[in-house]
Structure 1
Amino acid sequence: MNAIERALGLLLLLSGGQRSAAELAERFQVSVRTIYRDVDRLLALGIPVEAERGTDGGYRLARDFLQPPVALTRSETAALLVALALARGLNATPLLSDLDTAQAKLLASLPRPAREVFAQGSRIVGIEKPPVDIFHPEPDAVHPGRMQAAVDAFLNGMLAGRRVRLSHENPYRGRVAEFDLEPHGILFDRDRWYLYGHDVDQDGERFMRADRVREAVVSGMGFRSRADLSVESQIGRKWLSRAMRRWEDEGTVSVLEMGEAQAGRLARDWYYRHATVEPAGPGRLHVRIPSRDPAIILPLARWLGPGAELLSPPDLRNRLAAELAAMAGAYAPSQRQPTK
C-alpha cells in the first residue's frame, strides 16, 4: 500500500471516530512514525485532523468536517445552480474554489440534458454592474485583486471561530491601519464587499470595505459568536449614517438650502438620504453634506435647480455663481435661429 492509498484509508477510518497512532500503525502494518507523517500529509492538504493526548488519546477528524448527505430534488438542484451562477457574477465570489467543487457535485446529480444546460451558468443567468455614481464618485478600489482573499479569509475565520488580522488602507487619509477582528458577517453593496466584525482593540463594531484590505490572515485566537452583533444591523446603510455624522464632526461640510420637494428628491438617493436635514423657515430646509469637493457639490446644486441655494463654503458658492452666470449668458436672447 502506497502513501496515497494509506492516506485515503486513514481518512475513512478517522471519519468513523477516534483512533490511536498505535492502532493505525497496526492496521496498516507500518511504524507509528509513518502514521505521524501520514497525518502531517493530511493536515498539509487542509484536512482538519485533531489530536487528543493521553492514554485514551488519538486522532480524529474535526466534528464539522464531513457534512451529512442532503437529498435534493431536481428543481432544488437547479435553483442552487442558478444561485451559484449569480454569485459568480459578483465582484469577488466568497470561497470561490469551494464553490467550484460544490457546483461539480450538484451538476453530477442532474440528468445529462439538464447538466448540459446548467454547466455554463453565465449563458442562462446574467448580472449587470451598477452604473457609475455621478454625484458622489468614490476613489477606485485600492486593492481589487485582493478583495477575494480578504472575503475568503473573513469567511474562513467565521467558520473556524477564529479572529482575522487585517491591514486596511484608507485612501481619503492616506494611511494604513492594522485591525484584529472577530468576524461576524459580510455584506455586498453596489459591486463591493464589506466586512463586519468586532474590533478587539477598540472593543466595538467595525465595518470596512474589503477592496481596501491589503492583507487578511486567520489567526490562532478563537472567539465566541456574539448575539448582539449581526450584519442585519447594517442593512439600510446604517453604517453610512454613522460615518456621515463622524465626517460632519471633522468639519468638512457644505450646506445647501432648498424646498421640501427638492429635499424629497434628495432623500431618494442612496447616499444623500443619510445627510443631516434641519428646518430653515416655512417650507425651507438646510441639508448638510459632509464634503467640500467641487466635483461633488457643484453638480449636485445644479441638479437640484432653481429654489436650491448653496450657502457654504463661500469659495464654492462664489464658483457656482460664476458658472451659473456664464450659463445664463449662453442662453440670453440672441439673433441665432434654432437648428431644424
Structure 2
Amino acid sequence: MAATSSRMLRLLSLLQSRRHWSGDELARRLAVSVRTLRRDVDRLRELGYPVEAQRGVDGGYALAPGAALPPLVLDDDEAVALAVGLQAAAAVEVAGMAETSVRALAKVVQVMPARLRRRVDALRAMTVPGEWGAQATGGGVDPAVLTTVALACRDGERITFAYTAADGARTDRSVEPFRLVSLGRRWYLVGYDLDRGDWRSFRLDRLVGPQGTGARFAPRRLPAPDAATFVRDRIVDLPKGIAVEAVVQAPADVVRNRIGRWATVEDDGPRRCRVLVDADNLDWPATALAMTGAEFTVLSPPELRDHLREMGRRCTAAAGPAN
C-alpha cells in the first residue's frame, strides 16, 4: 500500500529533527514495518527529497546536507493544482488576499523539490490571466500538458502535438509556443503555427501529446498588445456574458476600491453609484455586490434578484437561530 501523505509528512519531520535515524527506530516511531519504511523513503526520493541510506550496523537514514526543508509532499498534479489556485487568488483585490496569496505561493514554491519547482515556476511565469470571474480552474486539462507547454514557452522550444478542432477534425501541429492564457474558465496556448505560417490560439483541453522537439527559436512579435487580448479577439466559444446592473448606496470611490477590478463603477449622485458587470454566471456578481458593504438595488437581470434570495436563504440557514 502506498504511503499516506500524513505518514510521509511525519517521516519528513522526523528526518529533519535530527541528523541520523536508524531504520528500526524510524519504523517504530511511525508504527510501520521496516519494509514499509523503505517504500516510504523511496516515495520521498521519487518526489525529489534527497534521503540518504547507510548500510551496516550503524546504518540508517538521513536527509542530505542542506536539505532540511519544511515538509511538503506533493505530486505533479497536486503541485500544478496548488499553483493554479494560488495564482488565481493572487489576482483578487480583496482585503489583502492578493498579498497573502502571493506570499503563500512564493513560500510553497520555495520548498518544493527542484523538479516540481521548475514546472510550477514555468507555469506561473508563462501564464497570462484574462479577467477576474473568468479564471481557468484546470478542469479538463491534463496537468502534464499544462506544465509541458509552459516549459516549452519559457525555454523557447518548438513543440508538436495533435489537435482536435471544434468540428472534430484532428490534425498534427508544429508550433512555436508563446504564452498560456487562462480565460473563460479554459486554458489556451498562443503560439506561431509553423504549418500555417500564422499566429493561432489552441484550447488545451483539445491538445494531446505535446512534445518538445529540441529545436529553439527566436521570439516573434505577437500581433496584439498581449496574449490574453489575442485570445479574446479571436475565439468564438467563450461563455455568453450576463449583463448585470445595480445601484449601490455608497460613494463610487468606496465601491471602486472594493470591487473595481470586477466591475465598472460610475458616479450616480453624491453618495451612490451605478455598478455594471459582465459575468458568465450569477454567483460572483452577487458576491461582489454583497461585498460593497452597502445597500443596493438590482436593475437587471431579474434572475439576479431570485439568485440573491436563494443565497440569503442559505446564509440565514447556515447562521442558525438567533440567540
TM-score range, shorter chain: 0.3 to 0.5
TM-score (normalised: structure 1): 0.39
The structure with the larger Rg is: 1
